[in-house]
Structure 1
Amino acid sequence: MFLNTSLSEGVPVSVMEALSFGLPVIATDVGGTGELINDEVGMLINPEISPALLMSAN
């Protein structure tokens, strides 16, 4: 799994690289990230989500 919690993005190369390895991606819905992620490859999360909540997803 790849987790990208950016608050600002263009089109994230790190997400594209993770997808190219077949990793499921959880990423904040900012910039062009929504163009890369769909229900088949991962999920988008609200960029306002609490860091403590993300840590509890362990």
Structure 2
Amino acid sequence: MAVIDVSKVDTTPGNDAVCPFSPPEGWEGDSAAYVELMRSRYRHLMHGQRMMVTASFARR
């Protein structure tokens, strides 16, 4: 099981397969495509839960 440091979010493509905010390796999409990727990942159970935890810690 991976440990996620929610204080640091690296959005570099291919950075981490389990990080919901990191696009896949070779990503060449624009900002609109990134938003769509985030929306689709939010609907996925594993990524969605991690996104919610990260967002809850970001508000603190």
**TM-score, normalised via structure 1 length:** 0.30
- Bigger proportion of residues as strand: 1
Max radius of gyration: which structure? 2
**TM-score, normalised via structure 2 length:** 0.29
- Bigger proportion of residues as helix: 2
